[in-house]
Every structure is written in C-alpha cells, then in structure tokens.
C-alpha cells in the first residue's frame, strides 16, 4: 500500500516537475541572454508587423520603421520582448494553478511557492514593460517636439501611405479570393453545360420562362397596384409594353417549365390571383408549347 501511495505521488508530480523545469530553464536562459537573442531574431524577422504605438496626439506609429530614434526603438523592442516573456510565465502559472487544485496537501505547499514566485516575477515584468513603453514614447515625443511642422507632416503622410498600403493589400487579397470563386463557378457552369450537350439536351440561348402577374391597358386598378407593390417586396418584378399597348408585369427568369410551374404556385400563395406562365427567346415572346419543344421538355 505504501509503495502504491509513493508511486501515485511521483506520478502526480511529473507535470509539476516538467513545468518547474521549463521555468528554471527559462530563468537560466534569461540570465545568459539567450532568450532575448532568440526573441530579437524573431522580432527583426517581423519588422513589418503591424503595431499601434501612440507617440502623442498627432502621431501614431504602425511599423518599427516609423521610429525616429534608435534608442526609443530599442526600448520599444525590449518592452515587446518582455511582454512575450510575461505571456509565457502567465501560461505556466495557469498550468500550476490547475495542478494545485487537484494535488494533495503536501504537494500544494510546494506548488504554491512556485505560483507566488511567478506572480512576483509577473508584477515586476509588468512594471518594467510600462516603464520601457513610457520611456520610448517620451523619447520619440521629445524628438518630434523639436522638429518643424513640415517634418511632422512628412511622417504623418508616411504613416498614412503605410496604412493605405495595408488596406490596399487586404482589398487585393479579398479581390483575388472573389476572382478565384468566380473562376471556379464559371468552370463548373462550363462543365455542366458541356455535360448537358453530351447528353443531347442543349438549352437554346436566352430562352426563359416568366410568371405573368398582370396585364393592363391604361390605369392600373388600385387592388392590382397594391398586389404588385407587395410582391415587389418579395421578388424582382419587371414590366414591358407589348405590341397591343398592354403593360405586362412579370417576375422570375426560369430555365425550365417545371421551375415555372413551381414559381406559379408560389406566386399564387403570395396573393396573385391568376399568374400565367409565359416564355421568351432572345427577348421575343413565344408560346409555352414552342418553348418546351425547344427545351426538349
């Protein structure tokens, strides 16, 4: 029984030892400067990363390239690096807290020591980060306070150009995505059309069925006018005047007779009393029978 208890303690301590080991390794690397060296390399490789750094009421940097002084840029980098360090410590502390909640009392005492140390380190880092950012801000602000209005305008224009380029880049990316979607859609439609032709069922160009919802000569009756306005809120309603001077109102642009029958039923439910299926080829009205023959329906 004692052996089993000893084994269970050893097993439960493994995650803790792993986290503590990483923390110690991290602290050791910090003293040697290895962590900062690695982070600096990563930082430099992301020199074009978007930042938001308010210098004063007139100037806000969006890139490391916008810094005027090397010293303030260095302080900003240090603050950013320490923020990454703080994030790692916070994650480790959260893991320790989870282990603490399920550990035995003897283990909790040991874990709490490391949690408190991490919290103290986090508080110290937070103060350092705030001080570094403030120092960087003051140095840049002092620089711009001594510059001419023309130089300030130039940096503001430079930042605006950079901001516009980011917007343009994003817009270009979205346009390319949309172009790809449209290209894919066209290809699919082309392949579908080819497939229909192979089956011997070509669809004549510009042959459509519509649903006629009304035909009027002169003034449209109030009831019909209300019906058309109501339907316009649900569907696109079109109108044209035929050779006899009748004003024809229609809805729908359908490829098959069956689709027209379905819409005819829907339009009835939406308040049209006598909807009629009509057909057009290349803009000219033809009989529904002729359309069905051409469409091989």
Mean pLDDT of the chain: 78
- CATH number where 250 lies: 3.30.70.1070
* 38 and 122 part of one domain: yes
Confidence band, pLDDT 50/70/90 cuts, at residue 185: low
Q: In the prediction, which pLDDT does 295 show?
A: 85
At which of 95, 118, 146 does a domain end? Answer: 146
The domain in which residue 56 lies consists of: 2-146
pLDDT digits (tens, 9 = 90+) for 223-248: 888 888 888 877 889 998 888 888 99
Show the tokens assigned to 284: 């000219």
- What is the structure's pLDDT at 155? 92
pLDDT over threshold 80, residue 23: no
One domain for residues 141 and 212: no
Cα 85 to Cα 93: distance, rounded to the nearest angstrom: 12
Q: How many domains does the chain have?
A: 2
* Within a domain: 281: yes
pLDDT digits (tens, 9 = 90+) for 40-59: 445 544 556 788 899 999 99
**Model pLDDT, residue 135:** 94
Q: What pLDDT does residue 50 have?
A: 82
Question: What is the model's pLDDT at position 153?
Answer: 93
The answer to the question of residue 173 being in a domain is no
pLDDT > 70: what percent of the chain?
Answer: 72
Domain assignment present for 184: no
CA 140 to chain centre: 34
What mean pLDDT do residues 10-31 have? 42
List, in sequence order, every residue forming a beta bridge with 38; answer none if it has no partner. Answer: none
Return d(Cα 287, Cα 215) in angstroms, integer: 17
Helix 2-32 crosses helix 105-145 at what angle (to 10 degrees)?
A: 20
What is the model's pLDDT at position 188?
59
Which pLDDT does position 229 carry in this prediction?
Answer: 87
Q: Is residue 194 included in any domain, yes or no? A: no
CA distances from 216 to 221, 226, 240, 277 (A): 9, 14, 11, 17
131: which residues sit within 8 A by CB, 6+ positions away? Answer: none
Residue 187 has pLDDT above 70, yes or no: no
Residues present in the chain in total:
297
The rounded distance, in Å, linking the Cα atoms of 217 and 221 is 10
What is the structure's pLDDT at 204?
Answer: 47
Higher-scoring residue by pLDDT: 109, 32: 109
Same domain, 236 and 127: no
User: What is the C-alpha end-to-end distance of the chain, expressed in Å?
Assistant: 84
Q: Which two tokens stand for residue 186?
A: 């066209």
4: left (phi over 0), alpha (psi -120 to 50) or beta: alpha
Of 122, 146, 170, the one marking the end of a domain is 146
Would residue 236 count as lying in a domain?
A: yes
Residues 227 and 120 in one domain: no
pLDDT digits (tens, 9 = 90+) for 257-296: 999 999 999 888 888 988 999 999 888 899 999 999 988 8
Q: For the segment 113-147, what is each residue's pLDDT rounded down to a tens digit?
A: 888 888 889 989 989 999 999 999 999 999 999 99
Token pair recorded at residue 100: 């603490």
Residues 36 and 137 in one domain: yes
pTM for the predicted model, two decimal places: 0.46
130 belongs to a structural domain: yes
Give 233's strand partners: none
Alpha helix ranges (H) inside 33-69: 34-45
37 within domain boundaries: yes
Q: What would the mean pLDDT of 70-98 be, rounded to a whole number?
A: 91
- The residue among 167 and 96 whose pLDDT is bigger is 96
Would you say residue 182 lies in a domain? Answer: no
Q: How far is CA 165 from the centre of its chain?
A: 18
User: Is residue 12 domain-shared with residue 128, that is, in the same domain?
Assistant: yes
- Do 141 and 62 lie in one domain? The reply is yes
Distance CA 1, CA 95 (A): 30
- Same domain, yes or no: 230 and 129: no
For residue 67, give both structure tokens.
Answer: 């810094």
Q: How far apart are CA 117 and CA 263, in angstroms?
A: 72
Looking at 118, 146, 174, the residue that finishes a domain is: 146
């Amino acid at each position: 029984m004692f052996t089993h208890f000893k084994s269970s303690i050893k097993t439960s301590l493994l995650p803790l030892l792993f986290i503590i080991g990483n923390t110690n390794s991290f602290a050791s690397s910090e003293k040697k400067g290895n962590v900062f060296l690695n982070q600096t390399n990563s930082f430099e490789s992301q020199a074009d990363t978007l930042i938001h750094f308010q210098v004063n009421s007139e100037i806000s940097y969006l890139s490391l390239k916008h810094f005027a002084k090397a010293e303030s840029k260095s302080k900003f980098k240090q603050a950013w690096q320490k923020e990454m360090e703080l994030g790692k410590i916070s994650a480790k502390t959260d893991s320790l807290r989870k282990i603490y909640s399920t550990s035995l009392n003897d283990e909790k005492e040991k874990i709490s020591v490391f949690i408190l140390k991490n919290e103290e380190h986090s508080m110290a880092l937070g103060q350092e980060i705030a001080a570094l950012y403030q120092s960087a801000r003051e140095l840049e602000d002092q620089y711009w306070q001594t510059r001419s209005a023309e130089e300030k305008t130039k940096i503001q224009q430079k930042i605006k150009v950079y901001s516009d380029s980011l917007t343009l880049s994003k817009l270009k990316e979205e346009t390319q995505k949309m172009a790809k979607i449209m290209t894919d859609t066209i290809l699919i439609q082309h392949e579908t059309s080819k497939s229909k032709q192979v089956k011997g069922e070509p669809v004549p160009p510009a042959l459509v069925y519509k649903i006629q919802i009304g035909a009027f000569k002169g003034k449209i009756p109030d009831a019909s006018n209300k019906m058309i306005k109501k339907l316009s809120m649900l569907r696109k309603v079109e109108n044209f005047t035929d050779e006899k001077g009748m004003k024809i109102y229609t809805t729908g642009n359908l490829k098959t007779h069956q689709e027209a029958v379905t819409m005819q039923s829907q339009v009835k439910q939406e308040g049209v009393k006598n909807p009629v299926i009509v057909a057009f080829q290349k803009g000219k009205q033809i009989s529904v029978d002729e359309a069905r023959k051409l469409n091989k329906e």
